[in-house]
A and B are shown apart, each in its own frame.
Chain A
Amino acid sequence: MSATPELIKINIDGRDIAVPRGTNVIEASRLLGIDVPHYCYHPKLPVVGNCRMCLVEMGLPAVDPATKTPVIDPATGRQKINWMPRPQIGCGTNAIPGLHIRTTTQMVKDARAGVMEFLLINHPLDCPICDQAGECKLQEQATSYGRGYSRYIEDKNVKPKRTQLGPRVMLDDERCILCSRCVRFSKEVAKDDVLGFIDRGSYSTLTCYPGKELANNYSLNTVDICPVGALTSTDFRFKMRVWFLKQTNSIDTESSVGANTVVWSREGQIYRITPRRNDEVNDTWMSDSGRDLYKQVRAENRLSSPAPLADLIAQAKALLASGGVALVASARSTVAEQYLAKKIADHLKIPADSRHVPAHLAKGDGLLISADRTPNTRGALVTGLIDTLPSEKLTQLAAGIDAGKIKTVLVINEDLSLHGLAPEQLARVDIIHIGTHASATSAAAKVVIPSHTVFEKNGTFINQQFRLQQFNAAVPGHVGTHNDATILSGLLAALGGHDFEGKSNAIWSRLTEETPELAGLAHGNIPETGHLIDAARFSHHAFPETEGLHYKPAK
């Protein structure tokens, strides 16, 4: 972390405000609730100042050049302000002591109206068939700052309407306002410099370099940051008007980064996932692969069962009664689910060497997908479900099965066949499988209790930074599935353990009482940006993650 930045006083539209030195005028105005319209500026991209929409009037206190003393305006008794004759760009104007800005003067209004008009003359104005409608900066700012009529009678530019830039991104060049956000994102953030302009002037055309395509796993961020309808997602386009969609905060479960997301749904169906800004975790970005995860909700291999949950729990209880039980819990489960799994293991007196959480490891991409491909390994440690880092192969479990020591395996959200267990070994034990999708494990299981995906339940994950992050249910549970916490707390009660009656508040308050890192933390007190918990107790673990965005492994 950098040192606390120096606060300096500036004045915007007559109001004083203290901001860190160097804050640009757009951001400083935002703090005062003043809108400085812009297109090319993006808080997480280099400033280029090309759209000219954020022009503001700028002035500095007058100082007598001879005496170096402030010049006082006799009319006001305050220091005189020398206003610059030309408007300046807000994005490229950084706060220095005494900076004065005006955003409401005629000069500023004229400048904005002029830029708006210029942006629209060659724009196709095909809003009725444009996917961006409803979240289009051009539309919004034309309404707020434009003239409201057109003086343009010439022919408009004709450019390519459907260019497939890559597998997931479609480009309409006529709508493009050449702000270069996508170009800068690809180059500076995704480090995949494939986009650029060809031709010149108003004929400039966005395109991929010859022989290249926009195919990196972050390509859809260009769609998010495109202020107009030029870049659209091939997955989402023409599916739904955005104003019909409900937004639910969620977390990307692909890896321990825990990118913050918004799930967009309507009538129980998810249409898209976009990133949610968190400057400490994912800035404003997320992976393309993470956006595809909603498809698991209605996947063909989704597990479901018409049987009442009580019956399924009773069957599971019967199997567990026979002894020789091993638990395979998951780092994909929420903190509360992991806590319940631990409670069940404790109640059944499953020895530590029969409690497993398999690891899912792959190479990190250095940005928003880490080496740990589960969202909640830290949760398993914090809740005490495990006390050593998980490994990929369940060799101990395999040995236990081979030795005849393990007779029953309770598997939560995992597929044993992916972790070194052979089909014969699965066949030798009674498996109770709590999970979302069909797998070799569910096929071999005696009891299958279908559960919820991350999009159908509430919960928390603890990411690689030990940041506790909350997510909410975007859509109701799939037919024939049950909430994981309900399943687990029901099973715990059926086994004779504590009965939480399936109440998440009761589970959470007991969990926080028993977990020092979470002590006193109410669900409602977890900020949207997450809550960093004390990681001291776990600092000795050699976590697999390597450096990524906002994450540096401890040395």
Chain B
Amino acid sequence: MSAPAQTRIIFKHIDEPSYTNDLACYQRHGGYEILRRAVKRPPAELIDEVKKSGLRGRGGAGFPCGVKWGLVDRKSGKPIYLIVNADESEPGTFKDRYIIHQDPHQLLEGTLISCFANNVKQAYIYIRGEMPEGARILERAIAEARAANLVGPNILGTGYSCEIYVHRGAGAYICGEETGLIESLEGKRAHPRIKPPYFPAVLGLYQCPTIVNNVETLCHVKHIIERGGEAYAKIGTPNNTGTRIYCVSGHVQRPGYYEFECGKITLGQLLNDVCGGPLPGRTFKAVIPGGSSAKVLRYDETFTLKNKDGSTRSLAAADIPLDFDTLAACGTMGGSGGIIVMDDSVNMVEALANINAFYSHESCGQCTPCREGSLWMKRISSRMVHGMARAEDAALLKSVADQIPGRTICAMGEACSWPTQSFVQKFQDEFVSYHTTKKTRPADALQLV
């Protein structure tokens, strides 16, 4: 079965030669029409459309957007803030930056609709420090929108006012964690907060109720309001609605970003039919399906999944539909949509050492298991690839990783330990025998981070 065609909703105009990122071009393509219609509707109705759409967050956790909005404390009398999480830092993920660079007004429109729906008067776009160009583009887009009375006081003469500010991060992965982001936005070190009590929906930015949504998620809101929640929910598969952008990187013929209906394409279709298959003379070995923190899959793996009626079915990795639920059932996650492909040329211990180097560098250092565990795992895997592996290192790595997840303040505990847990488990032979097969570091090996 060959792959279905792309369904480009969010990325409709990305890489279109004649499409520019200014307001005029956006409006020529019908831009801000949805906002014009939305501000004439009761806000509660808009929230309802998002709930009906079944939209799940595109930042990584896949939490239903409508539910998130439903948790917001609207009785406190405090202002409600909306934060656009544009701190796209998960290795392997490169979708939000294209939206920001090539179609910033789509993000602004989605944001404004979401703000209007939630009675938000002030929104912040928290953009990754490494995206200075994106920040400039957003600033310009906001200025254009302001000049056109789409941002600022009395938007389109409705009496509704909303300001959007761009805030640049300073280059820390942890600022993508929503409470870390909020701390950073408040001008402090991005140390994630404990939950309870600091759920953003109740005690977020400046201790006020706050909505934090991913860039792509907010863009989807625009399309949900355009089509209606029920119509949108028909895109994709049940409970995995809408389209997903898959960012494919690594050992495929045509890496890049592809937008498909969620769950309508399998991993094998995406890698072989869409991305052109492995490089010449190579075979696929491993795939990380949702950003580097997602658990790795062996490409030759077969899963036994439970059906709703209690029976089981077996599913090859290549046949996994790329949605939220099936990937979760296979023990990994759809995450941010960053699909990292590794072929048989890859030394899995080196690959893990690289990932561990990243997470130990990015651990904020606040809570013990992630702070100490991530660095320990890095040191073990780094020592292994430098010719000092021991027979017991595989078991030690796994044991250290097992002491982290579920015991930390934020999801970074999972993010830093899942790679080690899954790499060691699924490529155990390579790790266990590493001390005999790779006594020294190969001269041509890439420099570790």
Contact = CB atoms under 8 A, between A and B. Distances in A.
Interface of A: 47-53, 55, 85-87, 89, 92, 110-111, 114-115, 117-119, 121-122, 151-152, 154-155, 157, 177-178, 196-197, 199-204
B363 A202 contact: yes
Interface string B194-205: 101100000000
Given A47-B194, A178-B371, A201-B375, A85 B406 contact: yes
Nearest to B196: A92
A115 B406 contact: no
A202 to B, nearest CB: 4
Given A85-B406, A92-B194, A121-B376, A52 B367 contact: yes
24 contacts: A48-B194, A52-B368, A86-B406, A92-B194, A114-B403, A114-B407, A115-B369, A117-B403, A118-B368, A118-B369, A118-B371, A122-B372, A151-B399, A152-B376, A178-B371, A196-B189, A199-B365, A200-B362, A201-B363, A201-B374, A201-B375, A202-B363, A202-B374, A204-B371
Most buried by A among B172, B189, B362, B369: B369
B121 interface: no
Nearest to B364: A200
Contacts of A178: 365-366, 368, 371
A196 to B, nearest CB: 8
Contacts of B362: 200-201
A107 B373 CA distance: 18
B194 A118 contact: no
Contacts of B403: 110, 114-115, 117-118
B433 to A, nearest CB: 20
A121 B374 CA distance: 12
Interface of A is mostly: loop
Contacts of A152: 376
Interface of B: 172, 189, 191, 194, 196-197, 360-369, 371-376, 379-380, 383, 396, 399, 403-404, 406-409
Please list the 3 inter-chain residue pairs (A to B) with the smallest Cβ-Cβ separation, ordered nearest first.
A114-B403, A118-B372, A204-B365
Contact of A203 (B172, B365, B368, B376): B365
B407 A55 contact: yes
Contacts of B360: 201-202
Contacts of B396: 151
B368 A50 contact: yes
A50 B369 contact: no
A201 B194 contact: no
B365 A201 contact: yes
A119 B365 CA distance: 12
Contacts of B365: 178, 197, 199-204
A53 B380 CA distance: 24
Contacts, number: 97
Nearest to A199: B365
A149 B351 CA distance: 30
A50 B368 CA distance: 7
Contact of A201 (B364, B369, B409): B364
Contacts of B376: 118, 121, 152, 154
Nearest to B190: A200
B274 to A, nearest CB: 37
A484 B215 CA distance: 77
Nearest to B365: A204
Contacts of A117: 403
B26 to A, nearest CB: 39
A489 to B, nearest CB: 59
Contact of A121 (B367, B372, B407): B372
Given A92-B194, A201-B374, A87 B369 contact: no
Contact of A202 (B372, B383, B407): B372
A489 B429 CA distance: 88
Contacts of A52: 367-369, 407-409
A201 B373 contact: no
B366 to A, nearest CB: 5
B361 A111 contact: no
A118 B191 CA distance: 19
B409 A49 contact: yes
A204 B374 CA distance: 14
A441 to B, nearest CB: 54
A258 to B, nearest CB: 35
Contact of B361 (A47, A177, A200): A200
Given A86-B407, A89-B194, A115 B368 contact: yes
A118 B196 contact: no
Contacts of A203: 365
Given A50-B409, A118-B371, 14 more contacts: A51-B368, A52-B408, A86-B406, A86-B407, A92-B196, A114-B407, A115-B407, A121-B376, A151-B396, A152-B376, A197-B189, A200-B172, A200-B363, A202-B363
Contacts of A119: 368, 372
Contacts of B189: 196-197
Contacts of A115: 368-369, 403, 407
A488 B409 CA distance: 62
A231 to B, nearest CB: 18
A361 B329 CA distance: 73
Nearest to A202: B375
Nearest to A205: B365
A52 B409 CA distance: 8
A422 B194 CA distance: 63
A324 to B, nearest CB: 68
A166 B18 CA distance: 63
A504 to B, nearest CB: 52
A51 to B, nearest CB: 6
Contacts of B399: 151
Most buried by A among B366, B369, B380: B366
Nearest to B195: A92
B67 to A, nearest CB: 16
A398 B147 CA distance: 80
B407 A87 contact: yes
Given A118-B372, A121-B372, A200-B361, A50 B407 contact: no
Given A49-B367, A86-B406, A118 B373 contact: yes
Nearest to B373: A118
A111 B367 contact: no
A464 to B, nearest CB: 34
Contacts of B383: 154
Contacts of B406: 85-87
Contacts of B194: 47-49, 89, 92
B430 to A, nearest CB: 21
Most buried by B among A115, A117, A154, A201: A201
Contacts of B379: 154-155
Nearest to A154: B379
B189 to A, nearest CB: 7
Most buried by A among B361, B364, B368, B406: B368
B407 A111 contact: yes
Contacts of A50: 191, 366-368, 409
A359 B383 CA distance: 70
Nearest to B189: A197
Contacts of A177: 368
A228 B366 CA distance: 17
B361 A201 contact: yes
B436 to A, nearest CB: 19
A200 B180 CA distance: 13
Contacts of A196: 189
Contacts of A121: 372, 376
Nearest to B406: A86
Most buried by A among B372, B376, B396, B408: B372
Contacts of A122: 372, 375
Contacts of A51: 367-368
A86 B360 CA distance: 23
Contacts of A114: 369, 403-404, 407
A50 B404 CA distance: 13
A154 B368 contact: no
Nearest to B396: A151
A87 to B, nearest CB: 6
